[in-house]
Amino acid sequence: MHDDFIRIENLFPHVTDWADSSDKGYKWSENLWVSQKDGWIALYRPLNLGLVYFKQDFFEELINGVHTITKDRLTKLIDEGILIPANDDRDRREHENLISKARSGVFRFICILPTTSCDLNCLYCHQRPDAGQERYMTTEEADAGLDKCAEVCSDKSKPVDILIYGGEPLQAFPVCQRIFARACGDKPIFSQPVRLSFTTSGIGLTEEQVAVLVRYDVFVIISIDGMPEVNDRVRRSGDGRSSFRHASEAYNLLKKEGVRVGLSVTIGKHNIDTLSEQVEFLLNNFEPNDIGLNAFLHRRGEGINPFQVNSRSAFDQFIDAFEITRERGVYAEQPFRRLKPFVFRQPLLKDCSSPGERLVLAPGGLMGFCDSCYPDGVDFYTVEEFPGRDQEEYLKWASLSSVEMPQCRSCPAMSVCGGACRYDALKASGRYDGVEPERCSFEKTFLNWTIWELFALRKSRLSDPYFPQDEERRALFGNVMMHEQNQPFTAGSYSE
């Protein structure tokens, strides 16, 4: 599988002449891309995720005048925006509407780092502080930060998601408990419903802490990368015990009390060669509500993370592992963040909500947009000085959507990638609105896989051209039922 998409006019030189000579004069969308496979082509329009398949021979003969297309199929091409009346500026209007929608987003996702201290020394971690430099959030800082968040989360029509992680949040559990109570207790400070998530290694989890997590219906995410020997090789516990065992014991404590639990798998050089076996092992030994398959590691300093795998060579392993989760009916966070916009035809404008829709609270009474920027001391402010929606710093972040950034806005994966990670783009290119080449290659390859996976899964009789129906796109979900209860922090992924 490759990530090659081609502009239609580059593949078919006479295609413009054919559109122009149709009944009333048409033009092909300027947002149109072509993918080829096994004698077929797919015409894909990212602006509305429109899609049609042609046999390549038929299409070439069509534009050369050998064949004609029926009126109903011509109408369908126009409805999908693949063909546009010659005097229509539909591409520009739709693109500007998406930019406006991205810019008008509201804060609905809150990340809280109660401490930067951690019990593990993970070899791929990009933000572990030096010994003695760990920081802890005070109760006063947590209160002030939450009050500010409740103030600026202005959209009362939708829930707010709060994700607590670190560091290891269990090391600062009294502050976490305070956050739970103020957000979801008897007198919540938020006007809208709040959904709580909590990421942990599980080290030191107690029954008393589990009772608190149960009381506030917290979705707990346990980090674990595979079988004990694979996981423990890189996720190293300071007490000398197996970090896999710590995670397993925590999982059992939580599940015994009915807590929703997800697993977070970091993919790297330590597990990529046997990724399918690792994922199958985890699904066989645990019953997670969801699973994360994170194929991208933040850079270490200014260089590529030493555990980062080459996305092109590792893509097949990633898909094989994902297909196991799909067959088992387990929601896999990262793949589904790309599939949902494609299936529901709702463009994903921001994969990460840091472009103007995420609030991050950190020790020291600081507040920012991107948690990864905190260790670098960049783009964080005191709670009182956090920029308003009309200020330059906010507008800078709000502009970082895939439909607005210069290199993303003309990419075929624009509306399923969402621009990916702005911190990684900054480290790779020196610009928040730049790109990280490995990530771009992966996103286009995943889109190409999605297009041809849909073609392979079709149930209807194959016609030429073939327009997949909306219900046919749902086949990409496999056995996964789209229950919100199995999806943590859904506000962080903007396809609903």
**pLDDT tens figures, 15-73:** 777 766 555 588 899 999 999 999 999 999 999 999 999 999 999 988 888 778 888 99
Using DSSP, state whether 278 is helix, strand or coil. helix
User: Residue 45: which residues within 8 A CB-CB, separation 6 or more?
Assistant: 29, 31, 32, 33, 51, 80, 81, 82
User: Residue 5: which residues within 8 A CB-CB, separation 6 or more?
Assistant: 33, 34, 35, 44, 412, 444, 447, 448
Looking at 29, 59, 88, which one is the last position of a domain? 88
Structure tokens belonging to residue 278: 């690792």
- CA nearest to 358, candidates 418, 425, 403: 418
- Any domain includes 401: no
Using DSSP, state whether 196 is helix, strand or coil. strand
**From CA 390, how far away is CA 435, in angstroms rounded?**
26
**From CA 415, how far away is CA 218, in angstroms rounded?**
31
The DSSP secondary structure of 361-386, one letter per residue, reads: EETTTEEES-GGGTTTT-SEEEGGGP
**From CA 187, how far away is CA 184, in angstroms rounded?**
8
Q: Quick check: bond before 347 cis, omega within 30?
A: no
Q: Containing domain of residue 81, as a range?
A: 6-88
Give the alpha-carbon dihedral of 484, 488, 492, 496, to 10 degrees. Answer: -10
> Binning pLDDT at 50, 70 and 90, where does residue 496 land?
very low
> Has residue 491 got a pLDDT over 80?
no
Query: Do 43 and 176 belong together in one domain?
Result: no
**From CA 138, how far away is CA 364, in angstroms rounded?**
8
- Any domain includes 476: no
Query: Do 137 and 110 belong together in one domain?
Result: yes
Q: Can you give the length of the chain in residues?
A: 496
The pLDDT of residue 494 is: 44
Q: Which amino acid is at 99?
A: I
Q: Average pLDDT in the 300-311 region?
A: 88
- CA nearest to 354, candidates 382, 316, 393: 393
Query: Do 68 and 160 belong together in one domain?
Result: no
- Any domain includes 421: no
User: Residue 69: which residues within 8 A CB-CB, separation 6 or more?
Assistant: 62, 77, 465
Angle between helices 333-344 and 311-328 (to 10 degrees): 80
Query: Do 166 and 291 belong together in one domain?
Result: yes
The larger pLDDT score, comparing residue 194 to residue 491, is at: 194
Query: Do 289 and 329 belong together in one domain?
Result: yes
The pLDDT of residue 287 is: 94
Q: What is the CATH number of the domain that holds 333?
A: 3.20.20.70
- Phi/psi at 145 (5° precision): -65, -45
Q: What is the pLDDT of residues 202-222, one digit of tens each?
A: 999 999 999 999 999 999 999
Query: Do 83 and 106 belong together in one domain?
Result: no
Q: Please state the pTM of the whole predicted model.
A: 0.94
- Any domain includes 65: yes
Looking at 59, 88, 117, which one is the last position of a domain? 88
- Any domain includes 397: no
Q: Are strands 331-332 and 83-85 parallel, antiparallel or unpaired?
A: unpaired
> Has residue 309 got a pLDDT over 60?
yes
Query: Do 142 and 251 belong together in one domain?
Result: yes
- CA nearest to 176, candidates 132, 133, 206: 206
**From CA 114, how far away is CA 45, in angstroms rounded?**
43
- Any domain includes 393: no
**From CA 56, how far away is CA 180, in angstroms rounded?**
57
**From CA 347, how far away is CA 441, in angstroms rounded?**
19
The answer to whether 428 and 437 have CB atoms below 8 angstroms apart is yes
Structure tokens belonging to residue 95: 């693109």
- Any domain includes 237: yes
Query: Do 54 and 202 belong together in one domain?
Result: no
Number of domains in the chain: 2
DSSP state of 159: -
How far is CA 178 from its chain centroid? 29
Query: Do 227 and 270 belong together in one domain?
Result: yes
CB atoms within 10 A of CB 132: 5
> Has residue 106 got a pLDDT over 50?
yes
- CA nearest to 165, candidates 331, 352, 297, 362: 362
Query: Do 264 and 309 belong together in one domain?
Result: yes
The pLDDT of residue 3 is: 62
Lowest mean pLDDT among 119-128, 148-157, 202-211, 452-461: 452-461
> Has residue 100 got a pLDDT over 50?
yes
Query: Do 190 and 241 belong together in one domain?
Result: yes
User: Residue 413: which residues within 8 A CB-CB, separation 6 or more?
Assistant: 46, 440, 443, 444, 446, 447
The answer to whether 195 and 236 have CB atoms below 8 angstroms apart is no
The strand ranges marked E within 176-308 are 194-200, 219-223, 235-237, 261-266, 290-294
> Has residue 2 got a pLDDT over 80?
no
Using DSSP, state whether 200 is helix, strand or coil. strand
Structure tokens belonging to residue 426: 């900054």
Looking at 88, 119, 144, which one is the last position of a domain? 88
Query: Do 176 and 258 belong together in one domain?
Result: yes
**From CA 470, how far away is CA 345, in angstroms rounded?**
8
- Any domain includes 137: yes
Q: What is the pLDDT of residues 390-437, one digit of tens each?
A: 999 999 999 999 999 999 999 999 999 999 999 999 999 999 999 999
The answer to whether 53 and 42 have CB atoms below 8 angstroms apart is yes
The pLDDT of residue 495 is: 40
Q: What is the pLDDT of residues 333-369, one digit of tens each?
A: 999 999 999 999 999 999 999 999 999 999 999 999 9
CB atoms within 10 A of CB 2: 14
The strand ranges marked E within 70-108 are 83-85
DSSP state of 163: E
> Has residue 128 got a pLDDT over 90?
no
